[in-house]
Structure 1
Amino acid sequence: MLRGRRALASQVRQRLRILISTGLYPPGSRLPNEEELSETLGVSRTTLREALQALAEEGLILRRHGQGTFVNRHPQQVQGSLDRNLDISELIRASGHLPGTRDVVIQTMPASPHVATQLSLAPADEVLAIERVRLADQRPVVFSIDFLPMALVQTVNYELTDLYSDSLYDFLIQRLGLTIHHGLAQLRPVLAEVWLAQKLGLSPGVPLLYIEQVDYTLEQRPVLFSQGYHVPDAFEFVLYRRGPGES
């Protein structure tokens, strides 16, 4: 029951992001009250509040006591907190930009030793690899490669177009009933090789931020391994760091 409500809240959150990114609720505008919005979206006020709370934590909306809920005005950079595990499209949309995708390549292949290690697979096991160039307002900002264990994907019926969607997290929830509990990420600077620079419309040798991440279920099962090459001037990440006096 709880998983179903969270999945529904995630879908409502996604629908609200689309309404905001397409201009129905532009930056600075006030959202309808909870009663009207829950009727429009066809969900309970409890589910709506959960979705609104998540959007507020992401910074997409502002909830002002006694005034209402407003769409936040954002700077041009795609902003995100490194302690929040968001899909790239969600991060772009939460910053008030329109996400997009191009140059999609989906193929099945044997897992490389590195990918197999990250997903706790045998080297001969197959994975589904999804390559995409991610856009923010039509600007290429990320080249990503996502790996899903083929044994996991084969348990459900799906269309390849399902994997073109903004968020693989939604695919995992809606098709496989799997919710990502947490992810472990490693970050390091890299220089764009010729092939990568061409995909992102950059000059070879330009610095990029490389983020490699494994996503886990609550049961500590690795279900998604991602490699993302981020154009650094398109992003601003915030990291909360505890002081030595905070336990």
Structure 2
Amino acid sequence: MSAVFDQGFLAPGLGGPLYRRLQDGIRRAVADGRLRPNEALPAERDIATGIGISRVTVRKAIQALVADGVIRQRHGSGNFVAEAATRVQMGLSHLKSFTEDMESRGSFTSSRWLERSVGTVNPDEAMQLRLSPGEQVARLFRLRLANSRPMAIERAVVPASVLPDAEAVDTSLYAAMQAVGHRPVRALQRMTAANLGPEDAALLGLEAGAAALSILRLCFDAQDRAVEFTRSLYRGDAYDFVAELTI
């Protein structure tokens, strides 16, 4: 801890409040690499004891760094240095799966399954997919990662008549749908701003209330049949959505 916090910010005669000097010292340690992305900070009481200031002062400095995006707080785990803000530009003119998009950028993709099951359609799903009450759907809910970084939460629903076996989806949903002749060829997509609830925020490694982009996508196959309804949450600090407009 001394290598990180021994910046002389407590030296007599220096101006400014202690919490701001501590804040600047941590910020410098992040900037010059002494504190690395995803590295845990010592507990607030350990910082306070180690440099001889109050926990209130330490907490105030940490809260300011959290507000600035330098530090991330994980409930039950502590304070961590935030990852460098690497943003992905996603075009809006082509229909691609997450896997196809990320692999085209040279990123390694992976998923963490949240649910992979077949069950009875609910009223909202039935309306979107034009199904009758009682019909079956495959539910494919997962956390999507690129180079081990959580990027998005996808909750896809596909008619079981299109994809009867949810376990058939390994990495790419669209690859599995193409294998049975129902790959989507067009989609209607609606995008809105959202704030993450506690559970979704925890999955993405963000604080509850963090900004996200909510996307509802309804996809159709070559026979113009509705074959996929997906609700996605993309982390707001990782994506820029880009569209080319012409007159």
Q: Verify: 1:217 aligned to 2:221, yes or no.
A: yes
Is contact 2:122–2:133 with CA below 8 Å preserved after alignment? Answer: yes
* Residues 210, 227 of structure 1: 8 Å contact kept: yes
Matches within 5 A, 1:85-234: 85-154=95-164, 160=167, 162-165=168-171, 167-174=172-179, 176-234=180-238
Percent identity of the aligned residues? Answer: 24
C-alpha separation in 2, matches of 1:185 and 1:159: 23
AA aligned opposite 2:157: F
The higher radius of gyration belongs to 2
The amino acid that maps onto 1:190 is A
User: Is contact 2:109–2:145 with CA below 8 Å preserved after alignment?
Assistant: yes
Ranges in structure 2 where 5+ consecutive residues have no aligned partner? 1-84
- Check conservation: 2:138, 2:166, Cα contact below 8 A: no
**Does the 8 Å CA contact 2:118/2:166 hold for their aligned counterparts?**
no
- Matched position secondary structure for 1:89: helix
Runs of 4+ in 1 over 3 A off after TM superposition: none
| Secondary structure, aligned partner of 1:100 | strand
Does the 8 Å CA contact 2:211/2:237 hold for their aligned counterparts? Answer: no
TM-score, structure 1 as length reference: 0.62
Superposed CA deviations along residues 141-177 of structure 1, whole A, max 9, x for unmatched, are: 10111111112223xxx571x3122x21111111x12
C-alpha distance in structure 2 between counterparts of 1:179 and 1:143, whole Å: 21
Corresponding residue number in structure 1 for 2:41: none
Stretches of structure 1 lacking an aligned partner (at least 5 in a row): 1-74
**Aligned counterparts of 1:144 and 1:183: Cα–Cα separation in 2:** 16
1:79–1:95 Cα contact (<8 Å) kept: no
Number of residue-to-residue matches in the alignment: 163
More helix by share: 1
Paired letter, 1:191:
N
RMSD: 1.8
1:172-227: CA deviation from partner (whole Å, max 9, x where unpaired): 111x1223221111000111011111111110000110111011012210111111
Check the 8 A contact 2:141/2:156 in 1, yes or no: yes
Once residues 215 and 92 of structure 2 are traced to their aligned partners in structure 1, the CA distance between those partners, rounded to angstroms, is 11
Give the TM-score normalised by structure 2.
0.62
Aligned residues of 1:97 and 1:136 also touching (Cα < 8 A): yes
Instruction: Tell me the residue number matched to 1:70.
Output: none
